[in-house]
C-alpha cells in the first residue's frame, strides 16, 4: 500500500493551466514512449550482460531529455495508469545467482567425515571382490552399511541446511524495503519491489538506492558508498553531469544496492531488477565467495587432524600386515580380513556424530533466533558473538529508544519546558515578551530534513508517521504542534509563504545543518538585523555553532551581542541539560542579502560555508531520548559475562556520560580524562595480546572526545585498553569510530562487536568482528552488520552471546562424549588385533554401527542442552588461542574418561573368554595359533566365542556411555543440581537418547538378518548388568573430580579441568 510522505503543504504551481498542461503533455507523450520503454526493458535473451552495461547512455544526455526518454514529469512524476502498465514488465527484484546444486550435493556427500567413509566403502568392496577368496557376505554387508551411512549423513546435512535456510528466509522477509517516489505530484512511500522505470525516487542520507537512477536534483554534499560494486570504501561524490563515458565510473548515476552516505537527491529510474547494473553483474559473477567463521575453522581444523591420523593409522595397519604379519604369522589373516579389520582405524577414530551435531546446531540456533526476530546473515557467526570481549555501542537509537521529543527550550534570558510554552505566553501581560518564539518556530520547521506522511495527516501530531532523522523528527513534531495565534505562529501559513532555496544537510563532521529559505512575508527581527527575504537558518551542536555567532536573541526577539557572559550562561545551561541526558541543539539565523542560485552546487556550498559567521544565536533546544527499558538489565548481564561495554557516540560528552550512567555503562563516581591517561605509566614493549585489564585491577571509568581521540598515540591506546573497564567516546566522527574499533581489536586479543543504527556507524560495523544493527536503523547500517535486531530488542544481544557460548560449549561436550568410547575404546580393540595378535574384540560392523547410530543418537541430546549456570559468568573465549580441542580436553579423553572406559570393555571380553576356558595369555599374543584345535576347541567354537565376545564388548560400550553422557553434561556442577529429568537444566532428549541407543543394541544382537550377515549374537544375561555399574563408577569418579574443582579452584585438578 502506498503512503504519501510528501508535505501536505508542499509547494504547488499557482498556474493551474500550466501545471495541467505539462501533465497532459506528458500523458500524450507517454503513449509513444511507454512502448519504447517496454521494448527496451525486454532485452534479447542472448544479450551479454557486459555488452548491456556498456550500452548504457542515460548519463550522457541532458537532464530534460531524461524526463522525455522515460515519459515522466519533473513535478508530477508518473501517473497511476503509467505505473500499472510498467509493472507488467516485472518486479524490481534482482534474481539470486543460480544455485550450483551439484556442488552442494558433492559437499553433502563428501563433506565432514563422509570422504573417509567413501574410502572405507571402496576398500571394503575390494575386500569382497576380487580380493575375497571366496567372497564373504560379512564384507559385503559392511560395504552396504557404509553406503547407508553416507546416504543418511548426506540426506541429514541437506535437510538441516534446507531447514536452517528456510527459517532464516522467513525472518528476512520481515524486513520491509520501501522507497520514496514522486507519483501523481505527491511524494509517496512504496515497496521498493514496485518501483518502475520512469519513477522519480527521492533519496536521503542512509537510504539504499532501490534501482538504477539518473540523478536530476541533488544537494551539494551528496555522497555515495559504492563498496558493494567497486570494493572501494571511499565515499563517491554525486554529480548532475557525466564525469565519464563509462556508466560504472560516472558520478551522475546512482546504482542499485549502493548507499547514500551524505546529502539528498532525486533520480529518474532507468533500470529495475535484473536489468540494473547490479543485476547484470550478478548474472556475470555467479555465487559469492564463501568465508569460514570461527566455529567452522575450528571444525575444519579438527576434521583435518582426525582424518589425517585415521588415514595414517589405516595405512600403517595395512603396512604392518604386508611387511610383518603376513610373513611372520602366515594364516593369521588373509588380505580381505586385514583390509576389513584395518577399516576399524577409519571408523573407530572418526567421531562421525560431530559434523551431524554441528549441522543440527544451526537448526537449533535458527529456531531460537527466529523466536526473537533476530536476523543472522550467517548462522555460524553466532559462535563468534559468543567470543566477544568488547561491545562498542552507539547511543541514539541503540541504547536509547530513538523516540526523541523536545523537552526544553531556552533564550538568553528565559528557559522553559516544551509543554509550558503556550501557558507562559497566555499568562504574560504582553505576548510580545516571547516574540522570539516566532524565530525559533521558523528554524525548527524550515531547517529540517524530516517530512510527515500525508496519509496520516488526520492523526494527532504525536501519532503521525515521519520519514527522517530522529532529531529532525522531534523538531518537526514540536514545530507542527506549536501554535500561538497571539504571535502569529502558525505552521500552515509559514509553509505557504516560504520556499527552500538551498540546503546543506547535517553530517557527522560539520555537526550542523544549514538551509537557505526565501520568506515571502517580512520576518520579525530586531532593528539591528536587516529586513530580508532570504535567510540562512542553521541548527547543530552548540559547541560548534557558538564559534560562528556574534549576536544572541532574547525572548522578546531583540538581539544583543553574544559576549563572554552570555556564552558562559548558555554553556552552563547546556551542561545542566546534558547532565540530565538531553541532546542540546543551537538554533541560529542570519539575513542573506544576495543568493547566487545560479552557481554550481559545489561552488554555492563553499559560499555558504563562508557565510557561516556573524550568526544570531536564537536559542537552545533540549531533546530527550530515554534509554530503552531493556538496556540497563542487558548491560548488567553482558558485563557479568566479562564483556566490557563502551559507548561510542557523536553526541556531546556530558549527554553521553549521563546516558552511560543511566544504562550502567559507567558506574564510577570519578571519570578520568585524557590528562589522566597521559599521567598513567604502562609497561613499554608489551605484547599487544597482553594489553588488557587484570582481574584484580580496580574498575576505572574514562571519557574521551573526538578531539582527544585524534591526538592519541599507541602508548595512550595501551593505557586505555589495558586499564579501563568503562569508557565513553563522545563527539566522534565515523572515521574515529572505525579507528577506535581497530585499536581495540589490535590489543588484548579482543573480539569486538559494534552496535549501531545510523550511517555514521557503518564504517565501525564493517571494521568489527561482529556488527549488530537495529531493525529501525538505516539501510547502510543493516547492510554492514552481521546481525539485525528486527524488533530493536537490545536484550537479544546477551541472549545471542549466551547462545554463541552455548554452541561452542555443547560442541566441546559432543567431542568429549564421542572420543573416549566411540574413538579411543574402539581403536584399542583394533590396536590389540594388529599389534598384540588378539582376535579383534569389536567387529568392523559393530564399530561402524556404534559410531553412526548409538553415538549419534546420544550426542544429539547434547545439542539441546541448556546453558550451565556459570556460562555467562565465565571470561570470554579467546578466539585466537582457545581451540575447540586443547590439551585439557585430550587429557580428559585419553587419561581420564577413556582410561576408565576401554579397560572396562576389554575386561568384559577377557572375563567371557575366561568363563569359556581361555585365560589371558590364551587370548592375547596368539596370532596365527587361533585356529582349529587351539586349546582343544574347534574352529566353529572359537568363531562363536569371538562373535559373542564382540557383542559383549559392544554392549559394554553402549551402556558405559550413559555414565559418560551424564558426566559430560556439566563442566563443574554436580548432576544433583542439573538433573535431565527436572529443574532448569531439564533435557528430556537425554533419556530418550538412552532408550534409543539401548534399542539399537537389542536390534543388533537379536535381529535375525543381522545375526546371519554380521555374525551378531545374544549375550549371556550376566553381561548386561556390569556395564551399568561401570557407567555409575565413571559418573561417581567424575563427580569427585568436580567436587575437588569446586572446593579447590586453584588446585592442579582444577587447572587440568576442561
State the catalytic residues: 394
Q: Are 990 and 980 in contact (CB under 8 A)?
A: yes
Q: Are 471 and 512 in contact (CB under 8 A)?
A: no
CA distance 500 to 519: 9
CA distance 739 to 712: 11
Peptide bond into 134 cis (omega under 30): yes
CA distance 265 to 628: 33
Longest dimension (CA), the chain: 127
Q: Are 625 and 857 in contact (CB under 8 A)?
A: no
CA distance 157 to 175: 28
Cα angle: 160, vertex 166, 171; to 5 degrees: 130
Q: Look at residues 546, 523, 625, 514 and name the one whose alpha carbon lies nearest to residue 578.
A: 625
Q: DSSP class of residue 850?
A: I
Q: Are 40 and 196 in contact (CB under 8 A)?
A: no
Q: Are 268 and 70 in contact (CB under 8 A)?
A: yes
Using CA atoms, how far residue 163 sits from 114, 361, 840, in Å, is 21, 12, 41
Reported residue count of the chain is: 1058
DSSP β-ladder status, 752-756 and 770-774:
parallel
Q: Are 865 and 813 in contact (CB under 8 A)?
A: yes
Reduced to 3 states, what is the DSSP secondary structure of residue 753?
strand
Q: DSSP class of residue 620?
A: E
Q: What is the distance of C-alpha 165 from the center of its chain?
A: 15
Which helix (H) or strand (E) segment holds residue 16: the answer is: helix 16-40
Strand-by-strand arrangement of the 223-225 sheet: 235-237, 223-225, 259-262
CA distance 619 to 436: 9
CA distance 745 to 134: 65
CA distance 325 to 61: 85
Q: DSSP class of residue 484?
A: B
CA distance 79 to 574: 50
Q: Look at residues 409, 776, 403 and name the one whose alpha carbon lies nearest to residue 624.
A: 403
Cβ neighbourhood burial of 188 (10 Å; 0-12, 13-18, 19+): buried
Q: Are 156 and 1032 in contact (CB under 8 A)?
A: no
Q: DSSP class of residue 908?
A: H
CA distance 179 to 191: 6
- Which DSSP string do the residues of 71-137 spell out, in sequence order? T-BTTTBB-HHHHHHHHTT--S-PPPPPP-HHHHHHHHHHTTTHHHHHHHHHHHHHHHTTS-SS--H
Using CA atoms, how far residue 146 sits from 119, 133, 334, in Å, is 10, 21, 22
Strand-by-strand arrangement of the 787-789 sheet: 374-376, 787-789, 770-774, 752-756, 390-393, 644-648, 726-730, 701-705, 671-672
Q: DSSP class of residue 985?
A: T
Q: Look at residues 926, 976, 739, 952 and name the one whose alpha carbon lies nearest to residue 843.
A: 952
Amino acid at each position: 500500500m502506498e503512503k504519501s510522505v510528501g508535505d501536505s503543504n508542499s509547494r504547488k504551481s499557482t498556474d493551474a493551466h500550466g501545471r495541467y498542461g505539462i501533465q497532459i503533455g506528458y500523458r500524450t507523450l507517454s503513449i509513444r514512449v511507454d512502448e519504447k520503454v517496454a521494448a527496451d526493458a525486454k532485452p534479447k535473451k542472448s544479450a551479454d550482460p557486459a555488452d548491456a552495461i556498456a550500452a548504457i547512455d542515460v548519463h550522457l544526455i541532458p537532464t530534460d531529455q531524461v524526463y522525455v526518454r522515460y515519459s515522466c514529469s519533473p513535478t508530477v512524476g508518473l501517473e497511476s495508469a503509467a505505473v500499472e502498465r510498467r509493472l507488467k514488465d516485472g518486479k524490481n527484484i534482482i534474481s539470486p545467482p543460480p544455485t550450483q546444486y551439484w556442488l552442494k550435493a558433492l559437499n553433502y556427500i563428501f563433506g565432514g567425515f563422509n570422504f573417509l567413509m567413501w574410502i572405507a566403502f571402496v576398500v571394503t568392496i575390494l575386500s569382497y571382490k576380487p580380493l575375497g577368496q571366496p567372497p564373504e557376505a560379512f564384507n559385503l554387508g559392511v560395504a552396504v552399511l557404509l553406503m547407508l551411512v553416507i546416504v543418511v549423513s548426506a540426506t541429514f546435512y541437506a535437510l538441516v541446511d534446507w531447514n536452517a535456510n528456510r527459517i532464516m528466509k522467513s525472518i528476512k522477509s520481515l524486513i520491509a524495503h520501501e522507497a520514496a517516489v514522486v507519483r501523481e505530484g505527491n511524494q509517496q512511500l512504496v515497496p521498493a519491489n514496485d518501483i518502475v522505470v520512469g519513477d522519480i525516487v527521492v533519496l536521503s542520507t542512509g537510504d539504499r538506492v532501490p534501482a538504477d537512477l539518473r540523478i536530476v536534483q541533488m544537494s551539494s554534499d551528496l555522497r555515495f558508498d559504492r563498496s558493494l560494486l567497486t570494493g572501494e570504501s571511499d565515499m563517491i561524490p554525486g554529480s548532475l553531469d557525466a564525469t565519464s563515458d563509462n556508466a560504472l565510473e560516472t558520478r551522475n548515476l546512482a546504482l542499485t544496492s549502493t548507499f547514500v552516505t551524505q546529502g539528498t537527491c532525486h533520480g529518474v529510474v532507468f533500470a529495475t531488477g535484473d536489468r540494473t547494473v547490479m543485476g547484470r553483474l550478478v548474472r556475470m559473477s555467479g555465487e559469492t565467495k564463501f568465508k569460514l567463521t570461527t566455529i567452522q575453522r575450528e571444525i575444519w581444523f579438527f576434521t583435518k587432524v582426525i582424518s589425517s591420523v585415521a588415514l595414517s593409522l589405516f595405512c600403517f595397519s595395512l603396512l604392518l600386515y604386508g611387511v610383518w604379519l603376513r610373513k611372520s604369522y602366515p594364516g593369521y589373516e588373509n588380505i580381505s580380513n586385514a583390509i576389513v579389520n584395518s577399516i576399524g582405524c577409519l571408523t573407530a577414530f572418526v567421531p562421525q556424530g560431530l559434523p551431524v551435531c554441528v549441522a543440527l546446531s544451526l537448526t537449533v540456533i535458527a529456531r531460537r533466533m527466529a523466536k526473537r526476530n533476530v536476523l543472522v546473515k550467517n548462522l555460524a557467526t553466532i559462535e563468534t558473538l559468543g567470543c566477544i570481549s568488547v561491545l562498542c555501542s552507539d547511543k541514539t537509537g541503540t541504547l536509547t529508544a530513538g523516540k526523541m521529543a523536545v523537552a526544553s527550550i531556552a533564550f538568553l534570558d528565559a528557559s522553559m519546558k516544551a509543554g509550558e510554552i503556550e501557558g507562559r505566553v497566555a499568562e504574560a501581560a504582553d505576548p510580545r515578551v516571547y516574540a522570539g518564539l516566532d524565530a525559533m518556530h521558523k528554524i525548527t520547521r524550515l531547517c529540517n530534513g524530516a517530512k510527515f506522511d500525508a496519509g496520516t495527516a488526520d492523526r494527532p501530531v504525536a501519532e503521525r508517521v515521519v520519514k527522517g532523522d530522529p532529531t529532525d523528527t522531534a523538531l518537526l513534531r514540536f514545530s507542527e504542534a506549536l501554535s500561538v495565534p497571539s504571535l502569529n505562529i502558525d505552521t500552515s501559513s509559514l509553509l505557504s509563504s516560504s520556499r527552500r532555496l538551498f540546503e546543506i544537510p547535517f553530517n557527522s563532521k560539520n555537526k550542523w545543518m544549514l538551509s537557505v529559505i526565501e520568506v515571502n512575508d517580512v520576518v520579525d527581527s530586531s532593528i539591528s538585523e536587516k529586513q530580508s527575504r532570504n535567510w540562512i537558518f542553521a541548527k547543530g551542536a552548540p559547541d560548534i555553532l557558538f564559534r560562528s555567532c556574534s549576536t544572541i536573541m532574547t525572548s522578546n526577539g531583540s538581539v544583543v551581542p553574544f559576549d563572554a557572559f552570555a556564552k558562559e550562561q548558555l554553556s552552563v545551561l547546556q551542561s545542566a541539560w546534558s547532565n540530565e541526558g538531553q541532546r542540546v541543539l543551537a538554533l541560529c539565523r542570519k539575513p542573506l542579502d544576495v543568493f547566487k542560485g545560479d552557481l554550481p552546487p559545489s561552488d554555492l556550498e563553499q559560499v555558504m560555508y563562508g557565510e557561516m559567521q556573524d550568526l544570531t544565536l536564537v536559542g537552545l533546544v533540549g531533546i530527550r531520548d530515554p534509554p530503552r527499558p531493556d538496556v540497563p538489565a542487558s548491560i548488567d548481564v553482558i558485563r557479568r559475562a566479562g564483556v566490557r561495554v563502551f559507548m561510542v557516540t557523536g553526541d556531546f560528552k556530558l549527554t553521553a556520560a549521563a546516558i552511560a550512567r543511566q544504562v550502567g555503562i559507567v558506574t564510577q563516581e570519578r571519570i578520568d580524562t585524557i590528562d589522566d591517561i597521559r599521567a598513567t605509566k604502562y609497561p613499554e614493549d608489551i605484547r599487544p595480546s597482553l594489553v588488557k585489564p587484570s582481574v584484580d585491577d580496580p574498575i576505572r571509568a574514562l571519557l574521551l572526545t573526538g578531539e582527544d581521540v585524534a591526538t592519541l598515540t599507541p602508548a595512550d591506546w595501551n593505557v586505555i585498553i589495558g586499564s579501563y573497564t568503562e569508557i565513553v567516546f563522545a563527539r566522534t566522527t565515523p572515521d574515529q569510530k572505525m579507528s577506535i574499533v581497530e585499536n581495540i581489536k589490535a590489543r588484548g586479543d579482543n573480539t569486538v562487536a559494534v552496535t549501531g543504527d545510523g550511517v555514521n556507524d557503518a564504517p565501525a560495523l564493517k571494521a568489527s568482528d561482529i556488527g549488530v544493527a537495529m531493525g529501525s536503523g538505516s539501510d547502510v547500517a543493516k547492510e554492514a552488520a552481521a546481525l539485525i535486531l528486527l524488533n530493536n530488542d537490545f536484550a537479544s544481544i546477551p541472549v545471542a552471546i549466551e547462545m554463541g557460548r552455548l554452541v561452542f560449549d555443547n560442541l566441546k561436550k559432543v567431542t568429549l562424549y564421542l572420543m573416549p568410547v566411540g574413538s579411543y575404546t574402539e581403536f584399542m580393540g583394533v590396536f590389540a588385533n594388529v599389534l598384540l595378535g588378539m582376535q579383534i574384540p569389536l567387529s568392523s560392523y559393530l564399530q561402524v554401527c556404534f559410531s553412526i547410530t548409538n553415538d549419534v543418537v546420544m550426542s544429539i541430546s547434547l545439542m539441546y542442552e541448556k546453558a550451565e549456570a556459570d556460562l555467562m559468568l565465565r571470561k570470554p573465549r579467546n578466539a585466537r588461542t582457545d581451540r575447540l580441542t586443547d590439551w585439557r580436553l585430550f587429557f580428559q579423553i585419553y587419561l581420564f574418561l577413556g582410561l576408565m572406559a576401554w579397560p572396562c570393555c576389554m575386561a568384559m571380553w577377557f572375563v567371557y573368554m575366561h568363563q569359556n576356558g581361555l585365560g589371558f595369555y590364551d587370548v592375547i599374543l596368539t596370532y596365527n595359533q587361533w585356529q582349529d584345535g587351539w586349546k582343544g576347541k574347534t574352529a566353529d567354537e572359537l568363531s562363536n566365542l569371538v562373535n559373542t565376545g564382540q557383542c559383549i564388548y559392544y554392549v559394554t560400550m553402549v551402556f558405559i556411555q550413559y555414565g559418560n553422557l551424564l558426566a559430560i553434561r556439566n563442566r563443574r556442577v554436580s548432576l544433583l543440581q542439573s538433573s535431565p529429568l527436572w529443574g532448569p537444566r531439564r533435557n528430556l532428549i537425554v533419556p530418550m537418547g538412552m532408550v534409543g541407543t539401548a534399542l539399537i543394541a537389542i536390534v543388533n544382537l537379536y535381529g535375525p538378518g543381522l545375526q546371519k550377515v554380521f555374525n551378531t549374537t545374544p549375550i549371556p544375561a550376566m553381561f548386561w548388568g556390569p556395564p551399568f555399574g561401570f557407567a555409575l563408577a565413571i559418573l561417581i569418579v567424575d563427580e569427585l573430580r568436580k567436587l575437588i574443582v569446586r572446593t579447590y579452584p586453584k588446585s592442579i585438578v582444577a587447572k587440568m579441568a576442561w
